[in-house]
Amino acid sequence: MPVSNSSRIVITGIGAVTPVGVGRDATWENLLAGRSGISEVESFDTARYNVHRGGEIKGFDPAPHLRRLDPSKVGRASQLAIAAAHEALDDAGFGAGTGRDPARCGVAMGTTSGEPREVERFDDRYLAGELAAVGAEFMDLYPCHVIAGHVASEIGFSGVNTMIPAACAAGNYAVAHAYDVLRAGRADVMLAGGADSFSRITYTGFYRLGAIAPERCQPFDKNRQGMMPGEGAAVLVLERAEDAEARGARIYAEVAGYGLSCDAHHMTAAHPEGDGAARAMLAALAHSGHRPDQISYVSAHGTGTPTNDKLETRAQYRVFGDAARRTPMSSIKSMIGHTMGAASAIESAVCALAVATDRIPPTTNFEEPDPECDLDCVPNAARRIVVRAAMNNAYAFGGNNASVIFQKYT
């Protein structure tokens, strides 16, 4: 179906599963209240580590959320993604079906690690000399592409299906891809988001990098000691504005534009001058037609590591100039940890909700200002402001950067 590439793309449904809540409303209200989802790790034994905390989703039962697939044959990241996808579709008013050709409905998901718990199970069996016990179903469980495939299979969407393993920026990449697919007329409805599960592999990797904080994540605080691994999923329903209006859908926000870049500098270290991050923000501003002083709120990447927060601040000043100090920029990673490939998807959901409700979540655990991070990080308490436009920034390993701008739909 030919569609004008000037079509406006809007968000009509949101679903989320995070360490502070199973469901969009629980997640949003707990973030606004500044509640922490960080606790002692329970999914594996951390006795051999010198850090023991993380952002796990406690008490999540996949069975009520999987209506077609067998939970025992679906990995945890896929389970979280499916739960978020169902909630997003129900929220958009599509619970009984979209009324569209399934071949015109697609999925774009991001991840960092795919289904690492399945790899861990394989490793455990291999080390125990039980390789013969690894069945053929292993190939249906562990590759990262199965997350988008499982969502599509569960929902029944047979159109565009894309898995983007762009690490911590993957959720933003998925939203950008869905935006392009809809504007090109290659789909009528897109599910876009990200998912990652808490895993021994990921935890060990960041532990060996010396990046995990011992007790809590303190983005932009002078005494910050590192990030906190987490898990989660978020899915957005995207469609063309004219289609949403025609069916009387509630519109949370419009996807105004995006920008992508690569530092091309180092696999784990950000560019020392924040070059790639700045270029992604500038590209998003140009694509959306916004000036820096028209951005009401910035959802920071805000990992809480000493170097990254400083470089993110530097990039913010390169793009926003004097407006950087006046523009609220908070990090929800202070409450849910770094949910890897789900991070910017959850933060996209937060930006859409901020635009819709004129409320922005805080950066918690903030105690002492850092002269090298002299921004308004919305310390410790949510804030009510008019959010006309929100920018979501994500900066990933490999130097992958993605910024997406959401605005009020009028």
Contact 288, 408 (CB under 8 A): no
Give the end-to-end CA distance of the chain in Å, rounded to a whole number.
25
Distance CA 108, CA 114 (A): 14
Radius of gyration of the chain (CA): 20
- Indicate which residues carry an active-site annotation: 168, 301, 338
8 Å CB contact between 164 and 170: yes
Task: Sort strands 400-407 and 389-395 into parallel, antiparallel or unpaired.
Answer: antiparallel
3-state secondary structure of 317: helix
66-69 LR contacts (CB < 8 Å, sep 24+): 66/154, 67/154, 68/153, 68/154, 68/156, 69/150, 69/153, 69/154
| Three-class SS of 166-191 | CHHHHHHHHHHHHHHHHHCCCCCEEE
Q: Which residue's entry shows tokens 């069916």?
A: 247
Type of residue numbered 347: E
Instruction: Take residue 302 and report the two structure tokens written for it.
Output: 């805000």
**Of 249, 258, 334, 325, residue with least CA distance to 289:** 258
Report d(CA 192, CA 109) in Å as an integer.
6
Calculate the dihedral angle through the C-alpha atoms of 45, 46, 52, 53, rounding to the nearest 10 degrees: -40
Please choose, from the candidates 189, 193, 284, 287, the residue with its C-alpha nearest in 3D space to the C-alpha of residue 240: 189
Query: How big is the CA angle at 358 (ends 381 and 300), to the nearest 5 degrees?
Result: 60
Q: How many CB atoms lie within 10 A of CB 7?
A: 17
